Amino acid sequence: MDKDALTAWALANGWQMIAGMPSLTKPSSPKEAIVRLALKATVVNVEVKKPAGKWEKLTGAPYAQVREDPEGGIPSGLSLDTIPGFGMLMRENKDRMVFARMTGKG
């Protein structure tokens, strides 16, 4: 996957652009990013915001190692499926996005 494909996947799955990066927010503060995809020239890094406000890299991979899931699920190569709570956070963000579209809020 390349930068554009990863961005398209993220935005279709509940991520939102915050400070120019696809980001997930915590449910109690939907405008504050706590996980983001840092899309560099040749690699993508998954970063998490520490309580002190500093971003820390959790995982990363060259774009050539990131593979699209044929069923639209989480791309392989970034180990996103092994991060505790990641699936639930992504689901909560996607549900909030879908609900906002249904109610016209957002």
Backbone angles phi, psi at 79, to 5 degrees: 60, 30
* pTM, rounded to two decimals: 0.86
* C-alpha–C-alpha distance, residues 12 and 58, integer Å: 22
| Site of tokens 């109690």 | 28
Q: Taking the chain, what is the end-to-end CA distance rounded to the nearest angstrom?
A: 29
Number of Cα atoms under 13 Å in the Cβ half of residue 64: 1
Parent domain of 98: 3-103
Domain count, the chain: 1
Place 27 in a pLDDT band, splitting at 50, 70 and 90. confident
pLDDT tens, position by position, 53-92: 999 999 999 999 999 998 888 999 998 888 888 889 999 9
CA 93, chain centre distance (Å): 9
Which residues does residue 43 pair with via DSSP β-bridges, in sequence order?
A: 62
